Amino acid sequence: MHTSHEDIRFLENLKAGNIKAFDTLYRNYRNLLVALAIVILQDKEEAKDLVQELFSNIWQQGLHRDINAASMEELKKFLTVSIRNRCLNKIKTDEVRRKRYESILLSQTVISPQEGMEKVELKQHLNDAIARLSSQQAVIFKKGYLQHKKRKQIAEELQLSEETVKKQMSRALHHLRNILKKAEEL
């Protein structure tokens, strides 16, 4: 453990953008933050990704300059609260995505033969609507909602930015809603 004087020097170096201080921060806290994220997310790979994203943001976006920690304990608290919040936001985003998907496809339970036919018809309408999307939107929609892939994973597979994937997904959903609404009116 650092002495108080060493803590102050370390924190000053971190705020000043010293790469060695950042490297020390990463080495000292990465495993703790991954463990915390795994507990919250119950997914080791997602936990590692979020921790890596946190450290990338701290360094690349200059967040190290905004850390108002006067001690190592405050720094640790800042990092653990940051990763906890990122995990909770991730869970919330995944829940919203799941609800959207379910609202499009409805539940799997079939109560009557007529409802079964309606479900088959709805799936056919959905497939027809997906076919009317641009090829990129269709691929992104299928990967995100039918294959349950994360935006980052889709971006890597298609060699697109995450922002492009997000926009294309949003446009695909908008088009699907409009197409399905028109089909419902017929």
Residues 105-154 have pLDDT tens digits of 654 454 555 555 566 777 787 788 888 889 999 899 889 888 888 999 99
Mean pLDDT for the stretch of residues 51-67:
79
Task: Say whether 107 sits in a helix, a strand or coil.
Answer: coil
Gap between the terminal Cα atoms of the chain: 71
pLDDT at position 153: 92
- Return the residue matching tokens 């921790």: 51
pLDDT at position 2: 43
pLDDT-derived band at 158 (thresholds 50, 70, 90) equals: very high
Domains, in order of start, for the chain:
4-92 (1.10.1740.10), 106-185 (1.10.10.10)
Cα–Cα distance, 142 to 138 (Å, whole number)? 6
Residues 77-108 have pLDDT tens digits of 888 999 999 998 888 888 877 777 776 665 44
Residue 103 token pair = 């609202």
Amino acid at 157: E
Q: What are the backbone dihedrals phi and psi of residue 133, each rounded to the nearest 5 degrees, phi first?
A: -75, 165
The CA radius of gyration of the chain, in Å to the nearest whole number, is 23
Amino acid at 15: K
Q: What percent of the chain has pLDDT over 70?
A: 82
Mean pLDDT for the stretch of residues 163-182:
87
Compute the Cα dihedral for 111, 114, 116, 121 and give only its sign: negative
Residues 16-54 have pLDDT tens digits of 788 898 888 889 989 999 999 999 988 899 999 999 999
Mean pLDDT for the stretch of residues 55-65:
76
Amino acid at 170: S
pLDDT at position 75: 81
Sequence-distant (6+) residues with CB within 8 A of 35 are none
Residue 148 token pair = 């349950």
Mean pLDDT for the stretch of residues 56-84:
79
